[in-house]
Homo-oligomer: A and B are copies of this chain.
Amino acid sequence: MHPEVLEKCRQARKASSFLAGASTTLKNKALEKIALSLEKNKKEIIKANKLDLEDLESQEHYSEAFRDRLQLNEERILGMTEGLRNIAALEDPVGEVTRMWKRPNGLEIGQVRVPIGVIAIIYEARPNVTIDAGGLAMKAGNAVILRGGTEALNSNRALIRLVRHSLASLDLPADCVALIEDTDRRAAMDLMRANQYLDLLIPRGGPALIDTVIANSTVPVIQTGAGNCHTYIDCSADLDKAIAITVNAKIQRPGVCNALETLLVHRDIAPRFLPGILPVLSKLGVEIRGCSVTASYFEDVIPASEQDWKTEYLDLILAVKVVENLDQAVEHINVYGTGHSEAIVTDSYEHSRSFLARVDAAAVYVNASTRFTDGFAFGLGAEMGISTQKLHARGPMGLEALTTLKYLIYGSGQIRE
C-alpha cells in the first residue's frame, strides 16, 4: 500500500479508539478550539489559499464556478467557524441506547449508538468541506482521513495543520484528523481499498468522482448521488400552490440536487395550469423542454427528447410532460428518477397516499417544494450529504448517519443449551 496512506490509516485507526471514548464535553471543546484557531490564523489560511488560486489561474482552462468554490476569504472562514460551533451545539448521538429487551433466559440485550470508527472522505477542490465534513465526523466520535482535490492542497494543508494543532493542545490525538497530501491517483486508489483500516468511505462531489469511487472502492461507500427530481401536478391540485411550488423548486437555487428537473402534469389540469405557469417560468429565464402536448399550451417550448427525461440539468432548464394519470406519473418517476426527492401537488387524499407509498425515493413530498431535502431544513442540524442509496442512511445524513450500533448483552452466567 502507498506509504503515506498506510501510515495515516494506521494512525487514524489508533486515534479512533481514543476518540470513540472521548466525552461530549471534550469533543465540543476541540471543535471550539479549532474555530478559534481558524479565526486567529485566517491570514495564514488566506495566504495558503492564494497559492492555490495562483496555481489555478496559471492554467489555461478553468471555470469561474470552480475558482469560486476554491476561494477562501474572511467571510468563508467565518462560515466555517460558525459551522463548527453549530456542530458543537448539536446533541451527541453517541451513547444512546436505542432499545433494550430481556430474553426468557434472563439475558438483557440492548443496542447502543457508537461511532463508526475511521471514515475517509474523498472530495473536490472545496476547502470548506475539509472543516465541515471533518467537524461532523469528529463530533460523532470518528477519526477522519481527508483526501481533497489537488487544486486545494495548500489550503487544506494550512487548515489541517491548525486542526491537528488544536487537537494536540487539548491532549487529543492529532491523528484523529489526517490529510492525504499525495495527490497522485494511486494514493486515492489505495485509500479506496484500505478495508483493514477504514470502516466507511464517503465521496463528496460530482458524478465523475462518485462513479470512480463506486467502481473502485472495496471499502463500504455511502453514495451521495444526483437528483433528477420531479414534481407531479395532480388533476385535483390547488393551482396557486402548484404554481408557487413549481417556481420555487425550479428557480430558488437551480444548481443544487434537490431542485426540480422534470414537471409532470395531469392532462385534465394541463389546460388550466400550463398556460399560466409556462410564461411565468419563461419570463424568469427558464428554458422549457416539453412533450408535444406541453407545446400545444405555449409557443416557446423546445421538443423534449428521451435524454431530457434522464437529465439533471442543475440549470434554468425544465422538462415538462403531460401524463394520463397518477399511475403514469409514478411510473415515469420510478423509471427516470434517481431516488432523491419527488413531490405531488394534490388535494386528493387517495392520490397523496398512493404517491407516498409507490414512489421509490429518499424523500417523497405532498404539497411542498423538493428544495427542503437537506439536513438543516429537515431539522437534523447538520448535513454530511444526501444519500441516494438504500443501505445505512437514505436522504439527508446528519450526525446519526455517522454512527453505528453495537449489541450489549448483560448476562449472569447464561450458557447455550
A interface residues (Cβ-Cβ under 8 A, vs B) = 17, 20-21, 101, 103, 107, 109, 114, 116-117, 195, 199-200, 214-215, 218, 220-223, 238, 240-241, 244-245, 247-249, 252, 334, 356-358, 360-369, 371-373, 377-379, 389-392, 394-395, 404-416
5 more CB-based (< 8 A) A-B contacts, given A367-B412, A377-B416, A395-B406: A17-B334, A220-B390, A238-B413, A368-B412, A378-B407
Collect the chain B residues with CB atoms within 8 Å of residue A362's CB. 406-407
Closest Cβ–Cβ distance, residue A346 to chain B (whole Å): 11
Collect the chain B residues with CB atoms within 8 Å of residue A389's CB. 199, 220
How many copies altogether?
2
**B17 and A413: CB pair below 8 A?**
no
**B218 and A416: CB pair below 8 A?**
no
A356, B108: Cα distance in complex, Å: 13
**A415 and B368: CB pair below 8 A?**
yes
A364's nearest neighbour on chain B, judged by CB, is B408
Collect the chain B residues with CB atoms within 8 Å of residue A368's CB. 107, 409-415
Closest Cβ–Cβ distance, residue A387 to chain B (whole Å): 10
A16's nearest neighbour on chain B, judged by CB, is B360
**A414 and B369: CB pair below 8 A?**
yes
Collect the chain B residues with CB atoms within 8 Å of residue A366's CB. 409-411
- Assuming the contacts A379-B101, A416-B252, asked whether A214 and B200 have C-beta atoms less than 8 A apart, the reply is no
Collect the chain B residues with CB atoms within 8 Å of residue A416's CB. 248, 252, 369, 371-372, 377
A334, B117: Cα distance in complex, Å: 12
A200, B373: Cα distance in complex, Å: 24
A247, B392: Cα distance in complex, Å: 37
**B103 and A407: CB pair below 8 A?**
no
Closest Cβ–Cβ distance, residue A101 to chain B (whole Å): 7
A290, B238: Cα distance in complex, Å: 76
Collect the chain B residues with CB atoms within 8 Å of residue A214's CB. 195, 218
Collect the chain B residues with CB atoms within 8 Å of residue A195's CB. 214
7 nearest CB pairs, A to B: A368-B411, A248-B415, A371-B416, A241-B413, A392-B392, A390-B404, A363-B407
**B363 and A409: CB pair below 8 A?**
yes
In-complex Cβ contact of A200 among B114, B390, B414 (8 A): B390
**A406 and B364: CB pair below 8 A?**
yes
Closest Cβ–Cβ distance, residue A416 to chain B (whole Å): 4
**A411 and B252: CB pair below 8 A?**
no
A369, B107: Cα distance in complex, Å: 11
**A391 and B17: CB pair below 8 A?**
no
A17, B360: Cα distance in complex, Å: 9
A362, B357: Cα distance in complex, Å: 33
Closest Cβ–Cβ distance, residue A92 to chain B (whole Å): 14
Collect the chain B residues with CB atoms within 8 Å of residue A407's CB. 362-364, 373, 378, 394-395
Collect the chain B residues with CB atoms within 8 Å of residue A395's CB. 405-407
**B365 and A394: CB pair below 8 A?**
no
- Can you show 19 pairs from A to B with CB atoms below 8 A apart? A17-B358, A116-B390, A116-B391, A220-B221, A220-B223, A240-B413, A245-B415, A252-B416, A362-B406, A364-B407, A364-B408, A364-B409, A365-B409, A367-B410, A372-B409, A373-B407, A378-B407, A390-B404, A395-B405
Collect the chain B residues with CB atoms within 8 Å of residue A406's CB. 360-364, 394-395
Collect the chain B residues with CB atoms within 8 Å of residue A360's CB. 17, 20, 114, 117, 406
Collect the chain B residues with CB atoms within 8 Å of residue A410's CB. 366-368
**A220 and B405: CB pair below 8 A?**
no
